[in-house]
Structure 1
Amino acid sequence: MLLALLLLGPVLAAPSRQIPVPKLAQAEQDDGFASKPLSFTRDGTFQISIFEDLHFGENAWDTWGPQQDINSVAVINKVLDRESPGLVVLNGDLITGENTFLENSTLYLDQIVQPLVERRLTWASTYGNHDHSFNISGEGILERERRWPNARTQNMVPGRDAGVSNYYLPVYAAECNEMNCAPELLLWFFDSRGGFYFQERHPDGSQVGQPDWVGVSVVNWFEQTNQQFVAKHGRIIPSLAFVHIPTEASQALQVENGQDSVNRNYQPGINDDYPVAQQAQGWCADGRNDGTCAYGGQDVPFMQAIVSTPGLMAVFSGHDHGATWCYKWDHLVPGMTVAGTGVNLCFGQHSGYGGYGNWIRGSRQVSVDLRTLRDNWEAQTWIRLESGDVVGSVSLNATYGNDWYPATPNDKTFCPTWSFQKKINPVRRRI
């Protein structure tokens, strides 16, 4: 692949710039759209649509790359034709950065958000390991996002070791805002980093790898900010969290009792990625990343913060395209040092035609209702597939994990050019 890039790059660089870009005219007329607080509907509900692992920008110099992007836009449209979210979350790996050219790497963002702009939907992003690479950076994607008034993505934690997409969004009751009401729901967004540092090389010419876990400075900010909310409003505010790469807890729960740890009726979903890849995978505890260690444990502070945050109902991740289940983490899993306190760890559905795997594409939906949220801290979630079907509908409540649900079918969909892709560029998994 590298040889092909070197040989074809000068010829194909110009066509690679021809990325369809939606016009800003209407968006500019809606200036301030995303500055309005998020709020529940008048009937007391708030819904989120999560798209993850879209992987735009693969092989722009071939037929199958742009076709995959077209198919991914179609997935977004098909889902949003049937769902009416108050917020769209782009949960990491928006762009396959190692496949992009420096001069246009962030322009793919405009393709991704076009269906949202057309529907006047607002969105928030986390960045994944493929969004950080030699020719693309989280900072660059954020700058591109902020061109659109629909975007709510922010950077609240400065520093090289923090990543970029670390922030929170409060959600208020209808007709309320931060001036006269307390939030009814907090949404936390974390950058799990990974990939490579932008335009950096070691003396030997190799790219500089970036840690792939939520940094300690971010954990400290999260804990302190949440405590400030509690102190200011005199009560715990229920919350949801979004991070691209899952923590070690997801893998530990998945393998605790072997392949059948995730039960097809009690934790319905696809469970083909076994085991899932977690934060700090391949790193050593001393910070080395030389392939000699399986897991370094650097996500322990983040896991400790998760379990010690009352009211945190669920953490939603992507990264592992063949995992779509939710699991209640409510005990100490053998081999771990952090005990779960009841938070649900959920994967979404692979949304894009880019990236590895042929599982049917779709989008996890999450809905909360003020009538139950204030007392019971529970949420409803389901996956809307590109076919229009709904699978994996469950209640993340006190009895989740004991309640029986229909199993999720393991359906596949294929890009028309997939057979060509497999011959010329086999896709690597979860790196």
Structure 2
Amino acid sequence: MHTSIASNRAEQLSLRTTDLNPYPTKPRVTFRADGTFKLTVFSDLHYGENPWDAWGPQQDVNSTVLMKLVLASEQPDYVVLNGDLITGENTFRENSTHLIDEIVAPLNAVKIPFSSTHGNHDNEPNITHYEEIIREQEVAPLSYTRLAPPGVGGYGGPGNYWVPVYEKASDSAPILVLWFFDSRGGFSPGANSTAMPDWVDASVATWIKSETAAMTAAWGPASARGALAFVHIPPHVIQPLQAGLNSTRDPGLNADLLGQGSTQATTDPANNGKDDDFWATLNAEVENLHAVISGHDHGNEWCIREPTKDVIFCFDKHSGYGGYSSAGWGHGVRNIVFSSPDPKQGLQTWIRLEDGTTRAQVTLDGRYMRR
């Protein structure tokens, strides 16, 4: 197994240095013929809670029902699983990765391409980000999740990668790049477990620079393509913005106070600034970055413009029946729709609940919070 994993990573690196196509054996992800592209984001599924009683497995059943219902109704072009797929502190070591099989089964059934990020609960004594990624690659033919090159991501953060999206499959260059970043967190594996850093490692900043330079060399100016980024734990610079939310301009549930308890551990004063290299480089090097999308805070759904880098940030919607919740929060997804492949055009995004109702619709474009 270790030999195949090593050869897989070597193959990925070799392919990256030739034609910059990390997925030569998979179908190209494309816009629809009408020029649109729809993503549905499932966040904080939290499979594997309380496997020793009846309550825990029933939550997994409920989450699977939600996934099947939403996929059938929304029919997205691409799906993102934005972290905390598994509640790793509750699972058993011998079968933790098999929860990935349950999570991806609805996606496999409808043959939809997808990517995952991983969260603090995916790094625990009984599971790691690395193990989840490898299992997903083994059991999901249309998973586009992959490992970062060696040395990128820091300890416990191997899930940094990007996925090209083309206007047409025959195009020589993508029109959109989806970026996925590993914010780590949780605890190291094994009996002598210790807390892990819960921010995107500084090594990722250097990698972003090298990747964007390679993209420009292979595909031409970055101004010709758009970008969208996903990470599980929100950067700490978002915390002070919560006080200035406007429920009309920035609609959506706002029930989690950032920085309290486990809802955003990166705001611990001792950790502030640790993700600055990542945040600054992402916004400096990735042009036409439409938004940065996070999960982690189950009670938040809002979007806001982060003024220091002039980029829009959005929370997801808590999808899973596992993980903390409260009466009235509900479960659902964030939908994101590109109405055109033009990288200068804005996006439509909204929260869709399990029962089909929608809320918090906003247009993410240059006029958002500037009207």
TM-score range, shorter chain: 0.7 to 0.9
Q: Judge which range, 128-137 or 301-310, deviates more.
A: 301-310
Letter in 1 for 2:146: Q
The residue aligned with 2:303 is: 326
Give 2:319's match in structure 1, choosing from 331, 335, 351: 351
- SS of alignment partner, residue 366 of structure 2: coil
The residue aligned with 1:317 is: 294
1:151 lines up with 2:127 in the alignment = no
Shift of 1:353: 0.6
Give 2:122's match in structure 1, choosing from 121, 131, 138: 131
The residue aligned with 1:265 is: 248
Alignment partners' CA distance in 2, 1:213 and 1:388: 34
Shift of 1:72: 0.7
Letter in 1 for 2:80: V
Q: Structure 1 pair 327/317, CA: closer, same or farther in 2 (3 Å)?
A: same
Give 2:173's match in structure 1, choosing from 177, 182, 185: 182
Unaligned runs of 5+ in 1: 1-31, 202-206, 256-260, 285-294, 332-338, 404-431
The residue aligned with 1:379 is: 347
Count of residues in Structure 1 that have an aligned counterpart in Structure 2: 338
- SS of alignment partner, residue 79 of structure 1: helix
Alignment partners' CA distance in 2, 1:296 and 1:200: 29
Shift of 1:270: 0.7
1:245 lines up with 2:237 in the alignment = no
Give 1:392's match in structure 2, choosing from 342, 360, 366: 360
Shift of 1:158: 2.0
1:229 lines up with 2:215 in the alignment = yes
- SS of alignment partner, residue 97 of structure 1: coil
Give 1:301's match in structure 2, choosing from 250, 274, 277: 277
Shift of 1:283: 6.1
Show CA shifts across 1:372-416 (max 9, x none).
x33x2421111111011121121101111256xxxxxxxxxxxxx
Q: Between Structure 1 and Structure 2, whose CA radius of gyration is higher? A: 1
Match runs of 1:41-52 below 5 Å: 41-52=32-43
Alignment partners' CA distance in 1, 2:265 and 2:201: 11
Alignment partners' CA distance in 1, 2:115 and 2:208: 17
Identity %: 43
C-alpha contact (below 8 Å) 2:37/2:338 kept by paired residues: yes
- SS of alignment partner, residue 37 of structure 2: strand
Alignment partners' CA distance in 2, 1:369 and 1:229: 24
The residue aligned with 1:114 is: 105
TM-score, normalised by the number of residues in structure 2? 0.87
Q: Judge which range, 225-234 or 47-56, deviates more.
A: 225-234
Alignment partners' CA distance in 2, 1:102 and 1:281: 30
Alignment partners' CA distance in 2, 1:109 and 1:186: 25
Give 1:361's match in structure 2, choosing from 314, 331, 336: 331
Q: Structure 1 pair 278/219, CA: closer, same or farther in 2 (3 Å)?
A: farther
Match runs of 1:21-170 below 5 Å: 35-147=26-138, 148-159=140-151, 160-161=154-155, 163-170=157-164
Alignment partners' CA distance in 2, 1:95 and 1:60: 12
Shift of 1:33: 11
Unaligned runs of 5+ in 2: 1-22
Alignment partners' CA distance in 2, 1:223 and 1:49: 28
C-alpha contact (below 8 Å) 2:40/2:336 kept by paired residues: yes
Letter in 2 for 1:126: T
Alignment partners' CA distance in 1, 2:24 and 2:265: 35
- SS of alignment partner, residue 210 of structure 1: coil
